[in-house]
Amino acid sequence: MTHKFDVAGLGNAIVDVLAPVEETFLLSHNIAKGVMTLIDEHRAASLESALTGTREVAGGSGANTMAGFASLGGKGVYQGRVKDDRLGNAFRESMKATGVHFTTPSVTGGPATAMCVVAVTPDEQRSMSTYLGAAREFSKHDLNASEIASSAILYIEGYLWDSDSAREACIEAMKIAHGAGNKVAFTMSDPFLIGRYGDEFRAMLDQIDILFANEDEARALFEVDSFDEVLQAARHHKGIKAMTRSEKGCVIARGNEVHVIDAWPVKKVLDTTGAGDQFAAGFLYALTHGRGLADCGKLAGLCAAEVISHYGARPEVSLRKLAADNGLI
């Protein structure tokens, strides 16, 4: 079957507002250094107005994956909720610039477009203050069923599970994808999500065709203590399990088929933000272009290695050229 898109991504549509700051800025605005803190709309507006030299980039885990996917040359479409405001328009333009289709209509009422204020200190540490705003209200009404049905794979960002309406939208989207004979990919996003919704995730494991998880998430999901036990538990569920293990590389498993893949060498790890997002981008690109599971894991690892070698959650070079230079495309 020929698909219009390789991958349709669902996620929290967030605009990253990045700006260089001094250490004193963090102190005067009570910002916890090097971590992500959830904030309300008033504080988001206050922080944004206090910054100078800002740069605005479409963000959010799922959007970052789709940006990496487009950098590889993949045909991707993204669905997320933004308001018809300045940041909503900035998100739309930024996605367009990356080569990702984004056609979800902006809403006129309700909370403002989500933003993540990223204060970057001279030591390159990123301190993030996130207002989820309109993204938290993503619902079934925001879904474009025809885009999902015409995509080979539906990719869902696990963070969406923290909103009741977004969770319902994800379940509906999965039904649309499977009804069209397409695959569903799901990224666990955070071990804390499994603490809150583990029973739900375990109940729908056999509805997930491609599962992305890091080692901590995998152990929490399968309720085991060791990675060997993860592999044993994973065998009892259908689909592909793509599991990352930091400097140990990754393990790709499907039933009794297991591929252990070394991590790509990196001169210096500067920022692991976005590593999982770009791992998923590489894996999904290889999978939708007919590569075997081992090759999927290798390309995924290369994309993750690129993003952890610099600050920021998106590639700084053409991933397609990087992959070609390493014989993976």
| Phi, psi (deg, nearest 5) at residue 208 | -100, 120
Going 282 to 288 to 293 to 294, the CA torsion angle's sign is: negative
What's the mean pLDDT in 44-67? 93
What is the structure's pLDDT at 226? 96
Task: Please report which confidence band the pLDDT of residue 126 belongs to, taking 50, 70 and 90 as the band edges.
Answer: confident
| pLDDT recorded at residue 310 | 85
Is residue 190 in a domain?
yes
Determine, yes or no, domain membership for 42: no
How many degrees, rounded to 5, is the angle at CA 246 between CA 240 and CA 249? 60
pTM beyond 0.85: the answer is yes
Query: Across residues 102-128, what is the average pLDDT?
Result: 92
Q: Is residue 68 part of a domain?
A: yes
Residues 305-310 have a mean pLDDT of 92
Structural domains of the chain, count: 1
CA 207 → CA 86, 136, 289, distances in Å? Answer: 38, 24, 22
Lowest mean pLDDT among 15-19, 27-31, 60-64, 179-183: 15-19
pLDDT of residue 7: 98
Which structure tokens are listed for 2? 């020929």
Task: Kindly indicate the confidence band of residue 270, based on its pLDDT and cuts at 50, 70 and 90.
Answer: confident
Q: Do the domain assignments include residue 54?
A: no
CATH of the domain at 314: 3.40.1190.20
CB 158 within 8 A of CB 193: yes
pLDDT in tens, 7-40: 999 999 999 999 999 999 999 999 999 888 999 9
Give residue 123's pLDDT band: very low, low, confident or very high (50, 70, 90). confident
Assess if residue 50 is contained within a domain: no
pLDDT at 1 over 80: no
Contact 83, 113 (CB under 8 A): yes
Is the confidence at residue 114, as pLDDT, over 90? yes
Average pLDDT, the chain: 95
Q: Of 152, 138, 137, nearest to 8 (Cα)?
A: 152
Are the C-beta atoms of 148 and 181 separated by less than 8 Å? no
SS3 10: strand
Instruction: Tell me the backbone φ, ψ of residue 120, rounded to 5 degrees.
Output: -105, 115
Confidence of residue 271 (pLDDT cuts 50, 70, 90): confident
Order of strands, edge to edge, in the sheet holding 36-38? 36-38, 126-131, 114-120, 14-20, 55-59
DSSP 178: H
Is residue 200 situated within a structural domain?
Answer: yes
In a domain? residue 39: no
In a domain, 198, yes or no: yes
Which structural domain range is residue 195 located in?
5-12+59-111+133-325
